[in-house]
Amino acid sequence: MTSPLALSRLLEGRTNAEREAALARYLMSRGVPFARHPFADFEARGENFSVDVGSADRVLVLIAHHDAVPGSPGANDNAAAVGILLQLLERVAQAPPARARVRFLFTGAEELGYLGARAYVGDTALGDIAGVLSLELCGIGDSLVVWDAVDRTPFLERVSGAFQGLGLQRDAGYHVVGRIPLFGSDHRAFAAAGVPAYGLTMVPAAEAEALREFVFSPIRGAFRYLLRRPRPFDTYHTARDSGATLEPGALDATVRALEAVIAEAR
């Protein structure tokens, strides 16, 4: 089974059009049936791709955007997340869940205000969705963060329970934090439509306090960390976001965490 790190190289260092095409070619080459969702407006055009595994009525949506900001290789943001979901897709397809259907959603134009996700939400029936996690910056670190967790929902409780089932302790092995003021991701398109939806990120536990200040006090944090942002934001949206910075352990841990979430989904 191909590792998430190797799979992330399908996208790293390519233009967004090339990343999108490479992902579609990979799914076709593996014989994976997937749905295309084209979108276009005055900002950009592109395609979302989705793959459903399982036949249950309730749907768990896992998202990884396939685009990157211009000038960045886009390894941790967000080829790593795509690699994670591609490996997870292969693993889940071997033993589809009985209590939930898993939708692997690969979105475009996330860097343009979640354009692909917003178009998808506008065109898709959402009533059967139990919850959404969008993966961002999952290739560096040893501690999971569920963010934009403003409301306590049954889905959020199941995610926390899944992590605890892996032996992770809250505020150590994983964190649950409220709405982040400056940074965002595709889950916000679903949350705006009333669906329980959160971001999922991997961070270095040693940087937890610095990261908290950086993301929750963006103006003060920008001045304090002017010379070096805390990891993983030191490479975020820069030319340094290369595959050489990714940590295989972080990618593998995210896969295991998502497998646990799928086992708890219903």
The full 3-state SS of 207-232, as one line of letters, equals HHHHHHHHHHCHHHHHHHCCCCCCCC
Say what the pLDDT of residue 229 is: 83
CB-neighbour burial class of residue 245 (10 A; exposed 0-12, middle 13-18, buried 19+): middle
Higher-confidence residue: 225 or 216? Answer: 216
On whether the CB atoms of residues 39 and 48 are closer than 8 A, the answer is yes
Say what the pLDDT of residue 220 is: 63
pLDDT tens digits along 120-160:
999 999 999 999 999 999 999 999 999 999 988 999 999 99
What's the pLDDT band for 225 if we cut at 50, 70, 90?
low
Say what the pLDDT of residue 44 is: 87
Say what the pLDDT of residue 226 is: 56
For residue 218, pLDDT over 80 is answered with no
Residue in this structure with the two tokens 């799928």, named with its chain if needed: 262
Look up the pTM and report it: 0.96
> Running DSSP on this structure, what letter comes out for residue 170?
B
Residues 6+ apart with CB under 8 A from 28: none
Round to whole Å and give the CA distance between 67 and 46. Answer: 10
Round to whole Å and give the CA distance between 217 and 180. Answer: 9
